[in-house]
Every structure is written in structure tokens, then in C-alpha cells.
């Protein structure tokens, strides 16, 4: 798999039925290793190892109802006090250009989730924005979990 713009992490990888797989520590199962999954697993490790998000407060491919359909957010970080989403992330394969569409997709999930922070990444480019007063403001970094919790208290 392609090198990404994340710190290096160790992953459990294997081959099953002729297909590459990777172990997802959040879902606690082997999943097919696609380019998008490679990005998703890097983001999960970044959130756990570098941003201090407790693994037990992450969800991968979390379903949200919206307009009669179920949508799946790639990664969601939850508040340890009440379980509410603090961060919703949309991951794309490295070859997918980050355009307005992934932001719209993340915002659509967030209409139901209500997280203060949205992240969109293709593993090479990362964008993070915080919702404040009904609008999103871009950040030049992804907040640590403690900042997500503090922002949740202040921002809502």
C-alpha cells in the first residue's frame, strides 16, 4: 500500500481467500484492505496514538439515519461523559481528490450526529473544521481529545 501523510504505525495485515486484509482494532475484526481502508486505519491510529482518543470511544463505519436512508461515517469519536459524537471523519482513497463532495458528505452525516469537528482526509491531504455558531471554521490541526472535550463544553 501507498505511504501516507501520517506517522508510521504498525498494522496487523494478512491475506484471506486471496485478498489482502487488515485488522481493525476498533471493530475487532479483519477487514478487506482497500485504499480507503488503508487511510481509515491510519486515521484511527492517529486519533488513538497521537491525539489521545480512547479506542473504546471510537466507532468505524458508524451508521446514521438521514432522510430515510442509513449513511455510514468512516470514523466517529465520542464524548466519554455522554456518548455524543465529538468528531466525524470522512476518509477517501489517496487517489481521490479532496473536493467539496467529501465535505458535503461529512456535513450530511453530521446533521444527525451533531459533532463539533469534521475531518476529511485522503491520507495525503487532511482537512479539519470546527462548527461554531452554525458555520464551519477550518483549523490548521486536528485537536487532541482533551481539546475536543473542552470545545464541546464551550462550543455548544
Mean pLDDT value across the chain = 91
Span 95-125, pLDDT tens digits: 999 998 888 888 888 888 889 999 999 999 9
Any domain includes 74: yes
Query: The domain spanning residue 128 has which CATH number?
Result: 3.90.1570.30
Any domain includes 7: no
Any domain includes 3: no
Any domain includes 76: yes
Query: Rounded to whole angstroms, how far apart are CA atoms 52 and 35?
Result: 25
pLDDT(153) > 60: no
What residues pair up with 3 in beta bridges, in sequence order?
none
Confidence of residue 39 (pLDDT cuts 50, 70, 90): very high
Q: Which three cell numbers stand for residue 25?
A: 482494532
Number of structural domains (the chain) is 1
Say what the alpha-carbon torsion angle 153, 43, 99, 137 is, to the nearest 10 degrees: 20
Any domain includes 6: no
Rounded (5°) CA angle 129-48-112? 45
Q: What is the pLDDT, as a whole number, of residue 154?
A: 41
Mean predicted confidence (pLDDT) in 78-85: 93
Specify the 3-state DSSP secondary structure of 29: strand
Q: Which domain holds residue 92?
A: 13-155
Amino acid at each position: 500500500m501507498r505511504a501516507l501523510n501520517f506517522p508510521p504505525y504498525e498494522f496487523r495485515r494478512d491475506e484471506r481467500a486471496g485478498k489482502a486484509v487488515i485488522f481493525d482494532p476498533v471493530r475487532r475484526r479483519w477487514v478487506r484492505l482497500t485504499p480507503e481502508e488503508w487511510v481509515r486505519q491510519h486515521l484511527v491510529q492517529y486519533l488513538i496514538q497521537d491525539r489521545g482518543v480512547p479506542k473504546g470511544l471510537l466507532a468505524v463505519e458508524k451508521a446514521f439515519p438521514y432522510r430515510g436512508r442509513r449513511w455510514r461515517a468512516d470514523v466517529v469519536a465520542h464524548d466519554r461523559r455522554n456518548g455524543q459524537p465529538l468528531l466525524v471523519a470522512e476518509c477517501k482513497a489517496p487517489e481521490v481528490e479532496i473536493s467539496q463532495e467529501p465535505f458535503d458528505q461529512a456535513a450530511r452525516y453530521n446533521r444527525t450526529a451533531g459533532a463539533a469537528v469534521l475531518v476529511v482526509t485522503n491520507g495525503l491531504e487532511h482537512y479539519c473544521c470546527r462548527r461554531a455558531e452554525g458555520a464551519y471554521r477550518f483549523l490548521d490541526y486536528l485537536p487532541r481529545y482533551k481539546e475536543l472535550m473542552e470545545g464541546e463544553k464551550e462550543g455548544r
